[in-house]
Amino acid sequence: MKSSLRLMLAASVGVGLTLPAIAADPIKIGVIAEVSSISGAAIPNAAKLAADEINAAGGVNGRMIEIVEYDDHNSAADAVRAFQRAASQDHVHAVIASYVSEVVLALEPWSGRLKMPMITPGAASDVISHRVHEDYAANKYTFHGYMASTFLSDSVCDGVKAIAGPLKLKNAVVMSEDAAWTIPLDAEYLKCLPKIGINVMDHIRLSPDTTDFTPIYNKIEGLKPDVIITGISHVGVQPTVQWHDQQVPIAMIGISSQATSSTFYKDTNGAAEGVIYQTISAPDVGVTPKTLPFVKAYEKRYNITPAYCGYTTYDEVYFIADAIKRAGGTDPDKIVDELEKTSYVGTIGKVEFYGRDSEFTHAIKVSPEYIGGMLVQWQGGKQVTVWPNDIANAKIKFPGYIKTGTN
């Protein structure tokens, strides 16, 4: 009905001019992200890439995908305004939002109030899916399209367990930025590291505003650990450069979101050399047959490799389109029903969501069968996968000033 009205309107406007080519209404997907950050920029970039591919192949039942972009400047208030505008003014049918947990947690109630299906490609806090579990009726429109923090820690622990022997890792200091996503991350680190035989000597939470990390490294070095287990995303360049320039002799392994994009090497002038980070897809390994073609297309268009949330966003546009196709329209409740049934092999593995019985309701399933973690190291300016062994492309190699594995 609505579309036929629009058709008539379009036709009447076109009278006397050239008649516009009338296509079916597009499917609009709102993308809310902080575009001036490495991770944030990858979200709209990857979304546009996926949308263009889907449209080139004929769209969804003849309807084109239209990406509507909003910059939230890493502000929850800006993101909420963008979300409201997307729903009430721009009439989008689903939203892909942010890599920042604080922002996604602020949007989650709005997703319920405005009945707007929303998925985050990069935020990690466990609370996002816990809320869906606790109040399904209100929060069922939110999906968590990236590993929850607890799974991230477990994945890091699995990787560290595999490499601890040869590198002689026994003692660790956990160093995380103070943010919503690192609260469950650190809690799990403190549980899973001892389980794999790593003694946690100290647990440091640093302010994301920190510019001089010398005192922190000084303190850590005094404890003489074998490894620094990281949980950093908002910070990245400065701690890495200072680690390198001060030649802190301890390896850094863990979550370092900024390190996932190739611009990180350039931004740090190569100080990233030797950094090991956990991720779910890397530019050198075909996790699935879709991974490498995506990386290639992304690099061709944007001249950099995608940050971690570029992979997830790309997949999300595809499986949202699939869900809308299966739902036979854009009714939000039907989209949610179909998203719940998602079983989609994308660039990161096989995407399925936990059901209502799991405390991680609507978060992506994590296991080697679905989405598994991997460790990637910066070596000679390239991101190379070093774990799991069956897909690893290189052995771990540190710059000369790192003492790990040699003592």
Partner 1 sequence: MKLLQILIDGFAISSLYGLGAIGFTLIFGVSGVLNLSHGSIMVTAAIAAWVIAGDLGLGPYGGAAGGVAMAVALSLLTYMLVVRPIQTSSRIAREEKEIFVLTGTLLWGIMIQEAIAYLFTSNPKTVRPLIPGVIEILGVRTPMQEILTAVISWVVIGLLWLLVNRTKAGKVLLAASINPRGLTLLGFELPQIYFWVWALYGLLAGIAGLLLGAFLGVSSDNVGQLTASAFSIVVLGGLGSVTGSLIGAYVVGYLETITAYSGGPSIRTIPVLLLLVLVVYIRPQGLLGRR
Interface with partner 1 includes 70 (CB under 8 A)?
no
Stretch that binds partner 1, among 14-22, 37-45, 115-123, 386-394 (CB under 8 A): 37-45
In angstroms, the first-to-last Cα distance of the chain is: 74
Interface with partner 1 includes 296 (CB under 8 A)?
no
Q: Whose Cβ is closer to partner 1: residue 247's or residue 406's?
A: 247
Select from 52, 69, 102, 178 the one that contacts partner 1 (CB under 8 A). 178
Interface with partner 1 includes 267 (CB under 8 A)?
yes
Q: Whose Cβ is closer to partner 1: residue 36's or residue 61's?
A: 36
Select from 27, 31, 33, 37 the one that contacts partner 1 (CB under 8 A). 37
Select from 155, 242, 262, 330 the one that contacts partner 1 (CB under 8 A). 242
Residue 4: Cβ-neighbour burial (10 angstroms; 0-12, 13-18, 19+) = exposed
Q: What is each CA distance from 312 to 69, 204, 318, 359, in whole angstroms?
A: 17, 29, 10, 22
Interface with partner 1 includes 232 (CB under 8 A)?
no
Which of these, 366, 363, 350, lies nearest to 142 by C-alpha position?
363
Select from 271, 321, 351, 374 the one that contacts partner 1 (CB under 8 A). 271
Stretch that binds partner 1, among 62-70, 238-246, 291-299, 389-397 (CB under 8 A): 238-246
Interface with partner 1 includes 231 (CB under 8 A)?
no
Interface with partner 1 includes 269 (CB under 8 A)?
yes
Report in angstroms how near the CB of residue 401 gets to partner 1 at its nearest: 8
CA distance 275 to 267: 14
3: helix, coil or strand? Answer: helix
Supply the DSSP symbol for 92. Answer: -
CA distance 275 to 382: 11
CB 253 within 8 A of CB 232: no
Sequence-ordered alpha helix ranges (H) in 284-307: 291-302
30: helix, coil or strand? Answer: strand
Report in angstroms how near the CB of residue 264 gets to partner 1 at its nearest: 9
Q: Whose Cβ is closer to partner 1: residue 275's or residue 364's?
A: 275
CB 82 within 8 A of CB 72: yes
Stretch that binds partner 1, among 56-64, 87-95, 99-107, 202-210 (CB under 8 A): 202-210
Which of these, 170, 152, 196, lies nearest to 308 by C-alpha position?
152
Interface with partner 1 includes 36 (CB under 8 A)?
yes
Select from 29, 32, 41, 185 the one that contacts partner 1 (CB under 8 A). 41
CA distance 40 to 10: 36
CA distance 394 to 396: 7
Residues that bind partner 1 (CB under 8 A): 36-38, 41, 178, 206-207, 209-216, 218, 236-238, 241-242, 245-247, 258, 263, 266-269, 271
